[in-house]
């Protein structure tokens, strides 16, 4: 039987859920009771726990079992996502969390939108991680300009391009397999400017997404999924 999942504060063999939204969902939506078994996560481990105290301000639980994280990817993957309209970036965060991407950097380019609500994106990532049995949620970082990206922080940085003669991602599978930390960048709906393309081609390895033109969130999910296969 699959257990409901919640983020919790863990202290040895005890746990607590203090977030009011989580408590309301647990108590008034799911209508869980004292004695119910649930799954807890804290970003490092997963736990099976039993509800001991349940009220409108706090949920206290006893830990029954602690398990190591078997769901996270073997290597960190970060995505630099040039900001599109809020609905698109929300979908990207949801699905990239499900894939197991480590960190999401909203990225400012010439044709991108203004900085998004990162608190909202963090909430979306947390909810997605609970639904897909992840132990960690994807970290939502502060917005960064393309020229401010620390490319040296990565063993492999991929520049995804559309309708271009660059290599397919399968042709750099050996680079993906040997890298310890990987990142990729996805352009906005208007694409990159000529200057941005020239800059990125000097800093990253360009790969082709084929002849089709994809939505930004679709391209991000496609690249993350392909990288995952070659880890």
Residue 94 sits in the same domain as residue 54: no
Q: Are residues 62 and 167 in the same domain?
A: no
Q: How many domains are there within the chain?
A: 2
Q: Are 112 and 36 within one domain? A: no
Q: Is residue 86 located within the same domain as residue 173?
A: yes
Instruction: Indicate the residue among 68, 87, 115 that finishes a domain.
Output: 68
pLDDT digits (tens, 9 = 90+) for 146-197: 999 999 999 999 998 876 667 888 899 999 999 999 999 999 877 889 999 9
Q: What is the pLDDT of residues 73-124, one digit of tens each?
A: 999 999 999 987 766 889 999 999 999 999 999 999 988 877 888 999 999 9
pLDDT, averaged across the chain: 92
- For residue 165, what is the domain's CATH number? 3.40.1280.10
Q: Domain range for residue 22? A: 5-68
User: Are residues 10 and 56 located together in one domain of the fold?
Assistant: yes
Burial 205-230 (b: 16+ CB within 10 A, else e): bebbbeeeebebbbbbbbbbebbbee
- The enclosing domain of 34 has a CATH number of 2.40.240.20
């Amino acid at each position: 039987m699959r257990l409901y999942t919640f983020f919790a504060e863990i202290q040895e063999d005890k746990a607590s859920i203090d977030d009011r939204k989580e408590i309301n969902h647990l108590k008034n939506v799911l209508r869980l009771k004292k004695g119910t078994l649930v799954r807890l996560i804290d970003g490092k481990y997963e736990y099976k726990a039993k509800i001991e105290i349940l009220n409108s301000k706090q949920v206290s639980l006893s830990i029954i079992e602690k398990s190591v994280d078997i769901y996270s990817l073997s290597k960190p993957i970060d995505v630099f996502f040039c900001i599109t309209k809020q609905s698109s970036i929300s979908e990207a965060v949801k699905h990239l969390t499900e894939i197991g991407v480590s960190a999401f950097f909203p990225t400012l380019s010439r044709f991108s939108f203004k900085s998004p609500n990162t608190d909202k994106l963090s909430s979306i990532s947390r909810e997605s991680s609970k639904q897909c049995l992840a132990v960690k949620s994807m970290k939502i970082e502060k917005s960064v300009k393309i020229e401010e990206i620390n490319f040296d922080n990565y063993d492999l940085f991929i520049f995804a391009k559309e309708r271009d003669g660059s290599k397919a991602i399968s042709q750099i599978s050996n680079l993906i397999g040997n890298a310890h930390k990987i990142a990729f960048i996805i352009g906005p709906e208007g694409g990159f400017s000529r200057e941005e393309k020239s800059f990125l081609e000097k800093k990253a390895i360009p790969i082709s997404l084929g002849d089709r033109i994809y939505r930004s969130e679709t391209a991000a999910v496609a690249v993350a999924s392909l990288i995952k296969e070659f880890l």
